[in-house]
Amino acid sequence: TAIAMATATAERAPPAAAQGPRVALKETAMPPKASGTATAVVLFTGDGDLRLHDNAALAAAVTAKACVPVFVFDAQRMQSMSRRRIRLLRSSVADLARNLQSRYGLQMVIKVGDTVPAVLSMCAPGSECEIYVNEDPAHENVQLQRHLRDAAAENDALVVRGYSSPLRPEFATLKTDSWKTYYAQICTYPGAGAGPDIRRPTMKRFAIPEALPPLPEWDTGLAGEVPAAEDLIAAAEEGLSPELKDVRQRLDEERNFGLLEAGGERLALEMMGTYAYEGAKVFAARYLPVDVDMGLEQRAINRVLMAEKQWWQFEAADVVQKDDPRNWGALAPGEICTRGFSELLALGCLSPRFVLEAIFAIPRSRDGEREQLENLVEWREWHRLLACRDLLLDPTRSDFGTMQFRYWRHNGFLSRYAVGGEQSGGPAIILVHGFGASADQWHHQFAELSKDHVVYAIDLLGFGHGEKPAISYTQYFWEDQVKAFAAEVVRRPHFVAGNSIGGYTALSAATGLGKAYAKGVVLLNSAGRMITQEEYERELAENGGTVKQRMMGEAGEIGMYKPLPNWLLATGGKALFAYLQPSIGSICKNVYPNNPDAVDDRLTSNIFRDSEDPGALGVMTSGAKLPPPRTKNELFEEYGGPVLVTQGVNDPLGGGTARTRFALYNSVLPADIVTAVSLEAGHCPMHEAPGPVNQEIRSWVQKSMEAFA
């Protein structure tokens, strides 16, 4: 297979027999030119390839006898997308088809159905056919690569040629999982120079071909019409459960700030021009509207944008900043370009190499915007390479048999997740980690629960091996990620469990999904405020309603956000990091009071590695922007489904009030709703005392399933 990957941290690859799927090898940066006697089938997938500029496949296809550009709207692949994402994909494909027609007079073949048979139908029996497909670490793309190559292996006339768009092909095979090591290497690579105007060297992008070969003479059953968006959504949702269809409908009524419904190469290039020549704030005002009717995350961002401008902001603000009622300077540094371009980069409407070249159009007077745009591309490249490395080395882990790591994109950002027990036929459960942790902290649960459950664990964006984009993180952003994961990856009714802030996120996500789809919630030393019923009712009366009602403008107002200088947030975050990083082991042992030996190298090295990734500091500083959280009382009241509490009552966090907080669950929740179990453990009982936790989860899930039946 042609897939890029990394070697081990010790700078050597594992034995070939142990390697997993490989994505984006160095050689895929410049795939072989097509034979002059072959038909070049350029398969567009929406995984980083929906453009004419800087497209290695089109550059390779110019020498072919014939060229077939094709896109297949595959219902199975579209099930892993939201309805909005399907509409965005459709508009981007339609734009690409128009561009191919207007520039080359070449009709794009549009199919609806199973991708592999549709692509193979483009190849006449017995004729040479070279299939070009972009390689990406997202699981759906990895599966497509495998199926295409399996099919081609049965026909000597077919060749599958993978390609990619790396910034630096020489670094496609990572020998480290350390960002700092990698960054030092690319900065000292021959050709790299010091100085503000000298970028780190990158591969030169491909020119747009002057001409492409025509369609083949033989009949391929060509179809050039892009189906209507609603027809594509109907095809994707055919056969889905009523519960999942209902969730997809409700999630379509929400969306994170900055997400688009229409895309395409033309729009992407126009947006890039606006950012480069007119500036980030003009760009934001034009392309990043806030729609407060589209969910609580947008409400939270709007609260930040409507913050009163501070004196220190006006000193460096431009005219647009002063005239615009929105306080764009209150967002995280780099958030404007991150929100605006991430999905377009993920779809491939923009080439990352093109974006780096566009930096030169930005005047030196806007150095901050130059750096932020460069960071966006470099950080994305790092996480793509890290994902490729993970996929290669995953089979070498000792517990690969019970949990495998995969990747999925949420709003254009790569997010890692683990899965196990897919063949068990049991109920599904999603596990959500706490602050600073990752999906890997649940490996003890995979070892046991995957025997009779389908187990998933997700890296929240900003943690683990997932991307750490420069955005304002809120509890609603993480809640939306878990809801999307449940709808797009799990795709079946499930239980959801979480530890610490992951417990709060799990509960809020289950509340948003509804108890018909999220069948139950497991809280393991959950973060989030919980008060007595009397206090809760008194707060409702004083505030005129719940936090959600206040956020939605249906009750008393939420207090205004007063921004702090970004330099102050960054300084405070760096100081906190400098204190925490050297003390990771001792801090973990402190919160594992009953079994400190459970704090092993696997845990501490993962936490340290993840904290070194680019963007990790921004997650820490975003905490200052969080809107007032909904109490767990409010969430329990709205959710109404069964809850299991497995509380480590010796948790030192929260001033040693773990036992008091534990007692509140039985007083707040009805006895037929809550099952509360106290454990002699600290803040992370699933890792410190996995045996009792696994036993309680298995027993409770079984009883819940029997009750549903």
3-state SS, residue 503: helix
Does 332 or 199 have the greater pLDDT score? 332
Name the helix (H) or strand (E) containing 341: helix 335-347
98 membership: H or E segment, kind and range: helix 83-104
Domain spanning 397-530+564-626+631-708: CATH superfamily: Alpha/Beta hydrolase fold, catalytic domain (3.40.50.1820)
- Domain 16-192+204-209+219-226 indexed as CATH 3.40.1710.10: no
Q: Domain segments of the chain: what residues?
A: 16-192+204-209+219-226, 265-382, 397-530+564-626+631-708, 531-561
Q: In this structure, are residues 133 and 159 in contact, taking their beta carbons and an 8 Å threshold? A: no
CA distance 536 to 632: 10
Residues 6+ apart with CB under 8 A from 181: none
Alpha helices in 544-651 (DSSP H): 547-551, 566-580, 584-590, 601-611, 616-621, 632-639
Residue 218 confidence (pLDDT):
72
Tokens describing residue 319:
């005219």
pLDDT range class, residue 191, cuts 50, 70, 90: low
Q: Cα separation of 283 and 340, whole Å?
A: 9
Return d(Cα 159, Cα 129) in angstroms, integer: 6
Token pair 């704030």: residue: 281
Owner of token pair 């019923």? 533
pTM summary value: 0.94
Model confidence band, residue 313 (pLDDT cutoffs 50, 70, 90): low
Binning pLDDT at 50, 70 and 90, where does residue 219 land?
low
Give tens-digit pLDDT for 633-668.
999 999 999 999 999 999 998 767 778 889 999 999
Q: Which of 273, 412, 407 is nearest to 342 (CA)?
A: 412
**Mean local confidence (pLDDT), 444-462:** 98
Q: Phi/psi zone of residue 435: left (φ > 0), alpha (ψ -120 to 50 degrees), beta?
A: beta
Least confident of 115-124, 179-188, 195-204: 195-204
Q: Where are the beta strands (DSSP E) in 454-577?
A: 454-458, 494-500, 518-526
149 contact partners, CB below 8 Å, separation of at least 6? 1, 160
Of all residues in the chain, what percent carry a pLDDT higher than 70?
90
Q: Which of 31-40, 167-176, 217-226, 525-534 has the lowest mean pLDDT?
A: 217-226
Distances 144 to 1, 45, 383, 668, 699 between C-alpha atoms, Å: 12, 10, 21, 49, 38
- pLDDT tens column, 235-282: 999 999 999 999 999 999 999 999 999 999 999 999 999 999 999 999
- Strands 413-420 and 404-410 turn out to be antiparallel
Closest C-alpha among 530, 510, 536, 531 to residue 522: 510
| Average pLDDT score, the chain | 90
Average pLDDT in the 485-492 region?
A: 98
* Count of CB atoms situated within 10 Å of the CB of 691: 9
Contact, 645 vs 665, CB < 8 A?
A: yes
Q: pLDDT tier at 624 (50, 70, 90 boundaries)? A: low
Query: Which residue do the tokens 């939201």 mark?
Result: 82
The DSSP element (H or E) to which 41 belongs, if any, is: strand 39-44
Q: Do 16-192+204-209+219-226 and 397-530+564-626+631-708 fold alike per CATH?
A: yes
Question: Are 444 and 690 contacting, i.e. CB atoms less than 8 angstroms apart?
Answer: yes
Say whether pLDDT at 623 is over 80: no
Cβ neighbours of 12 (radius 10 Å): 8
pLDDT for res 571: 72
